[in-house]
Amino acid sequence: MKIGTLMASVAVIAMAAAASAQAAETNNDSKDSNVERPNLVVAQLNTPSGGSISNAELAARIQALEDAQTSATDRATADRTRLSTLEQGYNSAVWAFDNGRPTFASGDGRFTLAIRARVQADFAGYSQDSTHPAGFAGPSDLSSGSVVRRAYFGIEGKAYSDFSYELRFNAGGSDGGSFGASGVPNAGEGDPLLNKAVISYTGIPNVHINVGVLEPAFMMEGTTSSANLMFMERPDFENIAADTFGAGDSRRGVEVGWAKTDTFWAGDNVTATATFSGGKTGSAQNHGSVATAGAPGNGDENTQVLGRVTDRFWSDGISNFQIGGSFGKVLYSGSNGNADGGSQSLNLRDRPEIRVDGTRLIATGGINAKTADMWAVDLEGNFENFYIGGEYAQFSIDRQCGAIGAATGCTTSTNVADHPKFYGWAVEGSWILTGETKAYSASALNNEVGGFQGPIPSRPFSLSGGSWGAWELVARYTDTNLNWNSGQLAIAGTQLAGVLGGEERIAALGVNWYLNRNIRIMLQDNIVSVSKGTAALPDRDSQDFNVLGLRFQYAN
């Protein structure tokens, strides 16, 4: 009887422990309904006080309690392991090389940093006639030589997923110079040292907002990165548009962009960007400075609005065709620092599409104008490994009177007297001999929005592997006309003279060798014809010559 009583007491204690363990387990797992629990029926443990229980049955029930406790401990350990793994992943940085681009990323991918570099070393030889017409005043001995066209180094990435950034410096530039601290070029024109400094917000679907030192999306080849250009330079009229209407490198401003695929039908891609920009960083030109002591310039810096709209209206995933339009307006050309805040001027000019020698062969000269407008249309596309594109642009300058009087009809010197107009157009094509196709960029945070990029070699150059990279033949014809009413002579008090900026036609032929994704060699021959002179001698400064250019490039 004493043994039975003792066993009954043990059973009661076991029942209490089981009930307590099951209640604790139920509280811990109340949020996880899928977890299986031991099938312990407490009611069965309520043995009458006078009953008895066998040793085997008691041992089985104790074992069930131990199994339940072990299961709970395993689940707690697994939860701690998962939490520790997540914490370590969040705090751990991932290092990778993305096609030669060193990249760091946080474990959760919300923060990234990539190191970017681009070097373009250009060489050029100018072949000109030694004899010219009587009175010739054009450049007769353009300088052959070399220049580091671009030497970019910078970083880019994202922060908190919804923000991106890019910081880029340039130690190269046109004519091989760079802007110093005072904003004065050291050698030739140069390029600003601070080439890009952008913060972007991407938290709105299909939208990006860029603020800082920009390179706006503008014109057909302006939406192609300088690392992916088919030719050493963009068409000269595109450079004129970018420089005059605020889309050139290193512009202070704000840009809003929108891009969406399958907008109107499957396969199309629509982009739209709008930019408000000011002057170039590193330059005080047209910034409204003090002309003399105590006499402020009283003028604002030059400001522009510009934009671009495109629609890739057809694509099969490899071939793409796109139509685009660009527009720009100079809101204020900027003050040159005169005491009256005037002397606004615009000068349309460019080089013959190679910049080893910085001489501009065509230029309107300073036109007294506060505002100007331009528009351009383009059509481009690729069919497998063939590409063709064309663009037309027109510029209109609001020239001011300068002189006041009844004969001119001007009551102030800032009245608009006429609207000189200029134009440029180009057609270009390429054939990738090794069969690769041009990549199409549907959207991007920088100026590569709705644009065609360079091919990616399917078999990078390797002597041991017997592969030779990708080869491309290119051709382009450009016509830029900066003449307007060339026969119109200035008559005092009645009208302004015509503009004789000159006309430049360039036929460019070239071959591009893409050794791999990062290294390429470009060989280009520019056949240049310049028509320029005076109203009395229209062809006085005309000339024809060749420029043979060579570029070595690394870009990641």
pLDDT of residue 530: 96
**pTM, 2 dp:** 0.79
Contact 6, 49 (CB under 8 A): no
Q: HSE, CB side, 13 Å, CA atoms: give it for residue 253.
A: 27
Nearest to 285 by CA among 240, 238, 250, 326: 250
Nearest to 325 by CA among 266, 258, 276, 393: 393
Based on the fold, state whether residues 452 and 523 are members of the same structural domain.
yes
Residue 298, phi-psi category: left (phi > 0), alpha (psi -120 to 50), beta (remainder): left
Based on the fold, state whether residues 153 and 35 are members of the same structural domain.
no
Domain that holds residue 38: 2-91
The distance in angstroms from the start CA to the end CA of the chain is: 90
Nearest to 99 by CA among 117, 122, 119: 117
Based on the fold, state whether residues 460 and 408 are members of the same structural domain.
yes
The DSSP bridge pattern shows strands 303-315 and 519-531 to be unpaired
3-state secondary structure 244-260: HCCCCCCEEEEEEEEEE
Last residue of a domain, one of 91, 126, 158: 91
Based on the fold, state whether residues 85 and 107 are members of the same structural domain.
no
Based on the fold, state whether residues 14 and 112 are members of the same structural domain.
no
Based on the fold, state whether residues 69 and 119 are members of the same structural domain.
no
Based on the fold, state whether residues 317 and 386 are members of the same structural domain.
yes
Domain count, the chain: 2
Based on the fold, state whether residues 86 and 106 are members of the same structural domain.
no
Dihedrals phi, psi of 59, to nearest 5 degrees? -65, -40
Q: How far is CA 377 from CA 307, 374, 451, 463, in A?
A: 12, 11, 14, 44
Three-state secondary-structure class, residue 540: coil
pLDDT of residue 43: 43
Based on the fold, state whether residues 372 and 492 are members of the same structural domain.
yes
pLDDT of residue 506: 98
Residue at token pair 């104790």: 62
Last residue of a domain, one of 91, 117, 149: 91
Q: Give me the helix-helix angle, 2-28 and 55-91, nearest 10°.
A: 20
pLDDT of residue 427: 98
Q: What is the mean pLDDT of the chain?
A: 83
Based on the fold, state whether residues 81 and 109 are members of the same structural domain.
no
Based on the fold, state whether residues 128 and 6 are members of the same structural domain.
no
Last residue of a domain, one of 91, 114, 141: 91
Provide the 10 A C-beta neighbour count for residue 370.
21
The CATH number of whichever domain residue 116 belongs to comes to 2.40.160.10
Based on the fold, state whether residues 57 and 130 are members of the same structural domain.
no
Contact 519, 457 (CB under 8 A): no
Residue at token pair 């945070």: 445
pLDDT of residue 164: 95
pLDDT of residue 37: 46
Residues of the chain with pLDDT under 70: 1-51, 85-92, 175-190, 282-300, 335-343, 403-409, 413, 490-495
Locate 264 and state its tokens: 């109107």
